[in-house]
Amino acid sequence: MTALARLYPGDPALAVAATVALAVALLVTVAAVAEGVFARHRPALRSTIWRVALLGVILAPAAAAVRPHWPWHVAVLPALSAEPPVLPAEPVPLPSEPVPVVVQPPVSTAPLELPAAAPPAWSVEPEPPVADPWHVLGGAAVVVWAAGAAFGLLRLVVGMWRLRGLHRRSAPLGAEWAEVVEDVARSLGTSRAIDVRLSPDVYSPVVAGALAPTVYLPATLAACCDARQVRDVLLHECAHVVRRDPLVRLVQCLAAAVYWPHPAVYALNRRLDLACEDACDNAALAGTDPADYAETLLAVTRFCYPVPHTHEYLTMVPKRTSLEARVGRLLGGQRDPVTRTPTRQRAGLMAVLALALLAIPSAEWRAAADATDGTPAERPRPDEPVEPSKLREITGRVVGADGKPVAGADVRLRAADDTSVPYRTLRVASDAAGRYVFRDVRPGAYRLWALAGDTASRDKLGRAEAVTVPVGGGASPPDLRMRPGVALRVRVVSDADGKPLVGARVRLTWTDTERDHLTGAGGDVQLQALTRETWTVEAGAKRHGGVTLAVDLSNGRDAAVELRLPPGSAVAGVVHGPDGKPVPGVGLSAFRATSEGGQLAYTESDANGRYRLDYLPLGDLQLYVGKRGYVREYKPFRLTAAADPVPLDVAVTPRPHGGAARMTVTDAAGKPVPGAVARNHGRFSDDVRIATAGADGVLLLDDVFEELAGHEAVVRAKGFAPRVVRFQPGPKATPAEVAVRLDPGHAVRGRVVDTAGKPVKGAYVRSGRGGLLGDTGCEERTDRDGHFAFDSLPADPTFSVSAEGYSELAGQKFPLDGRDRVVVTLKPAAAVRGRVLDAGTGKPIPDFTVSLTFSPDRRPTDPITGILGSLTDPGQTFAAADGRFAVSPLAAGMPFQATVTAAGYRRGVVRRVEARPGGEGGEAEIRLKREDPASLLEVGGKLLDHTGRGVAGVEVRLIATEGQRPRDSAFPFNWEMVETGQIGQVAEVLQFQRATTGPGGEFRFRGVPPGDELELVHWGGGTPPGRLRGLENRAAAERTALAVRTPAPASVRGTIDRAAYPDIGRVLLSGNDRFLTLKLAADGKSFSAEGLAAGQYEVQVYGTSRRVGDRGASTSDVIARRPVTLIAGEATGADVGEAERQK
């Protein structure tokens, strides 16, 4: 005890410590108030405020130490006693548990005067001096503080040593990224080289090194993010380097080590970290779209979870930050995009800091008698800060519906903000008592659920138990109570012969269970513990194409479905550049040549440029190839036979510089508009360039993109109407000069409510298309009171309003510039409801598929919005014992055509059925006629070329119709409807089947209903397209052994005089009721097309597109026409010059 007392630094030293502690608390408080008042939506200013506060925290001890020498004092605080404190007469009661010891100013105790007494009659030996308990406590506090500070400094030293190893094990970026890094540096306004390296030791982008900062990227980043997202990451991380944030982080670590008992310093560091990240987000937003950048943050969060606790470097997804709040700030619309705090503001903040350092430590201590009434004050005991990296436990129990423990349950844990597919989960098994333990869990919000056989603890996909692990302890969530799930049996068979496919992959597109399953010996697999909702199932097998099906399990009944896979193949190869070297991170998407059915598969090339796409159908396909910095293009290819895989290497070409434009933005009076933002879009969603005008209203768009309408940019500024500016870029060295004048913007305020008049929070209110792909629209979300406001609208915008659980309102016109709020009432989401019955017995049909499309019997007053493509093709499959179905969410009152198919029945069609909210209206009754198997037809044969040889890879379609149908060229039986597959939704079409000819040209269709007319349509494979009608009139033997001989193909070649037609939007070949897009060759003027039918055609040259309205629509005019007659087996020339100009 005496030794500890000797360590007591003395009252003056503790007075300085108390002054510093108070000064730090006040500095942090003032900074927090300044942030809330002046910088809530200004990340750059917030960062500067907290940096200045950090500087004040570092200087506070020096200011307090020289306080006695300053000529002014402010007596506001009670003084420390000049005399040593005296022990009270009675023992001081001690707490049952030790109190955390922190450095605090001791509270004086008034001297205790003993009552007078007679001198003793004897003498005693003096006792040795007793150590003062307050001094002992003060000495112990010094020891604890010194130990904590030493530990903090040791951690810092160890962290710096670890950084040396991190640098040694890292590798520099490849040459393919050097240009991107240089472009990022230029975008950030720095000329110095930024060191960017790849490291196998990090799985989140980080910046490290106080004096020589380096950006370290995970080695797997290119495989987890596309090129645009990688550039976003580089912009963010390199902004840390330019701002010297690693040096500031070193100062933060020093402050945390010295002030480790002070909670205000932890708050300062947290707020400064958040402000730094937001400021770097601003730097990234200067070169990308907020929605795209939010998508990048989600992608980075997926692959870097769980976020490591690090103090030696800066990570893009810091711990203890809300990703949802961060994305909300990105998309909130009130964010100040400035990346640097103006010099005047920085000087003002430094002046405020100087005054604070002069004023706060000048406070003087009064005498104890002036401050107290002699009663000992209660000693403050602040909580000891908990180290955030301390790992915790989640413990709980899994029980059945009867409350008994469930052993062996698969208990899963994921982060609450995890949006990856599939989820990144931690998994443990429950023991015999139903108990489970997740150890080493970091503090944060989580979702917890359990699976066991055919039971699960959640009743909806993603609706798991919410668990929060606090910093100071573990979590014990309530019991996970298991309930029966729904089972789905999936059988996968070959469409060619009906045989089951063993080892086929069955995938649940979105799930919290196992995602992929393999079929067994019978070609089937049981999917258990599903919930009562719609599940999307994908199936694919070796040497077969893929099939997707949406199955509705909302009635809780176990279901079984059969998926028939067409013949197919896989493709694999290497993506390489012009130099033959592999190119990693290239996105590859496969589509049919006609784009029917949308995207078939997607992947990215790996570090060695390799890729593989499985489960593709046979026939003419196209491969979309895209990567930032390379030319994006569609590459046609053909699969003629099942293989595993077909080799297909892909060459990509670096994108040339797109040119530049310098824009000067002014208002109607000719004054510059600082802060104006120009956004240039290309033909793909991630082709975007963004620039912000300075104080002089000038901005530079560099390396711009061209879209269908030419080179365009949307220029916006707060309070002004956005404007689409068309321009012709100049070279990089001499950008084109473009003058942009912005007119005053229009405003509207409104409130979104439900039918009961209650506000709808979080509704999306969009003008135009919400600013997507270069339109002048914008988007806001309603607050908790349902309010929204726009102040920078163009004239006469069109609005749409949508919210989860409500019907969308589209095509709305709001009064502008008025004082009153516009009240928008949203109706509940609606559904198309019906019941499927057997037409003969009247009994319900339990298993069926419903497909919706737009009603052909629309009325002028009917509402209209979009519809999910999956509701049309493949539709939604139901397993309902009572035959009832409900397809939702849909817009209330909107009419649809409902098509119902069921095995063994002829399909039924209701041409008009309106979507109604629950409880409104009735249900459509659809009676299906049983199909007599003996009456079903078979159509098959071979498709031959003009020499009589079979042709593989030709697309063949069979159309069975009833009733009177129009001629082939008339809608809806025209070529475009057939090639895109949309004809399958026409009410008069009984059946629409697809096939691709095999190696010998063979094709076959089974189970064809005997309609009024059967038609065979074919195209592709290098053969002329053709249509064969009247198959219903042929004998069965002839129908099953057709020999469809195609004529010799014709071809056309030509050039366009670009001197006469410098601005071309597109070139079409029109003839034989078809339209074919002609792609210009690399010289920009030559075109060709093969595999055409003989006949009269016309080459049509269109000018550049121009926008129509504010919904993103565009149109263009024909500027030249060149008639041409094509002859079978011959190539015909068709040059277009001045003589062909459209009059």
Write b or e for each residue in 360-382: b if 16 or more Cβ atoms lie within 10 A of its Cβ, otherwise e.
bbbbebeebeeebeeeeeeeeee
CB 385 within 8 A of CB 263: yes
Domain 933-1045 belongs to what topology? Answer: Immunoglobulin-like (2.60.40)
- Which CATH class for the 830-928 domain? mainly beta
Specify whether the backbone of 498 is left (phi greater than 0), alpha (psi in -120 to 50) or beta: left
Distance between CA atoms of residues 189 and 901, nearest Å: 62
Residue 47, both tokens? 């960062």
Distance between CA atoms of residues 632 and 653, nearest Å: 9
Task: Give the contacts of 462 (CB within 8 A, at least 6 positions apart).
Answer: 447, 512
Tell me the C-alpha to C-alpha distance, in Å, between residue 903 and each of 55, 559, 584, 907: 76, 14, 46, 9
CB 109 within 8 A of CB 376: yes
Of 487, 491, 483, whose CA–CA distance to 535 is shortest?
487
Of 394, 396, 390, whose CA–CA distance to 414 is shortest?
394
Domain 1050-1140 belongs to what topology? Answer: Immunoglobulin-like (2.60.40)
Distance between CA atoms of residues 977 and 840, nearest Å: 34
Distance between CA atoms of residues 813 and 824, nearest Å: 11
Distance between CA atoms of residues 74 and 882, nearest Å: 85
Helix, strand, coil tally for the chain in percent (to 5): 20, 35, 45
CB 543 within 8 A of CB 644: yes
Average pLDDT by stretches of 10, the chain with 1143 residues? 52 71 86 85 87 87 65 40 33 33 32 35 39 65 84 83 83 79 84 85 83 85 80 88 88 88 88 87 82 83 62 66 76 77 82 70 40 34 41 90 93 86 86 92 91 93 87 82 95 93 94 93 94 93 93 91 94 96 95 86 95 94 93 91 88 95 96 96 88 96 89 94 94 96 96 95 90 80 95 92 91 91 93 95 94 92 84 89 91 93 93 87 90 93 96 94 83 90 90 92 93 92 94 94 96 95 92 89 93 95 78 80 96 95 88
Domain covering 392-484 assigned CATH 2.60.40.10 in the classification: yes
Per DSSP, the three-state class of 357 is helix
pLDDT at position 189: 82
Distance between CA atoms of residues 388 and 683, nearest Å: 46
DSSP label at 1001?
S
Task: Give the contacts of 468 (CB within 8 A, at least 6 positions apart).
Answer: 444, 445, 446, 475
Measured N-to-C along each axis, helices 290-304 and 227-243 cross at an angle, to the nearest 10 degrees, of 90
- Which CATH class for the 568-651 domain? mainly beta
CA angle 62, 68, 71 (to 5 degrees): 110
- With the C-alpha atoms ordered 24, 30, 34, 40, is the resulting torsion angle positive or negative? positive
> Prior bond to 306 cis, omega within 30?
yes
pLDDT at position 1048: 96
Distance between CA atoms of residues 210 and 1009, nearest Å: 76
pLDDT at position 794: 93
- With the C-alpha atoms ordered 598, 604, 610, 614, is the resulting torsion angle positive or negative? negative
Q: Which residues pair with 700 in a beta bridge?
A: 662
> Which superfamily does CATH assign the domain made up of 660-741 to?
Carboxypeptidase-like, regulatory domain (2.60.40.1120)
pTM over 0.75, yes/no: no
Domain 746-818 belongs to what topology? Answer: Immunoglobulin-like (2.60.40)
- With the C-alpha atoms ordered 366, 371, 373, 379, is the resulting torsion angle positive or negative? negative
Task: Give the contacts of 499 (CB within 8 A, at least 6 positions apart).
Answer: 493, 523
Residue 291, both tokens? 């929605």
Please report, for the chain, how many H helices and E strands are present, in that order.
16, 69
Q: Domain ranges in the chain? A: 392-484, 486-565, 568-651, 660-741, 746-818, 830-928, 933-1045, 1050-1140
Give me the CATH code for the 486-565 domain, please: 2.60.40.1120
Can you give the three-state secondary structure of 484-532, one letter per residue? ECEEEEEEEEECCCCCECCCCEEEECCCCCCCEEECCCCCEEEEEEECC
pLDDT at position 180: 84
Q: Which residues pair with 716 in a beta bridge?
A: 677
Of 143, 236, 162, whose CA–CA distance to 196 is shortest?
236
CB 709 within 8 A of CB 635: no
Q: Calculate the CA dihedral of residues 1086, 1089, 1094, 1100 and round it to 10 degrees.
A: -50
Distance between CA atoms of residues 242 and 276, nearest Å: 12
Distance between CA atoms of residues 634 and 568, nearest Å: 20
Same fold, 392-484 and 830-928: yes
Distance between CA atoms of residues 814 and 746, nearest Å: 11
- For β-strands 660-666 and 736-741, DSSP reports them as parallel
Q: What is the largest distance, in Å, between two alpha-carbon atoms of the chain?
A: 143
Distance between CA atoms of residues 1037 and 222, nearest Å: 57
Provide Rg for the chain, Cα atoms.
37
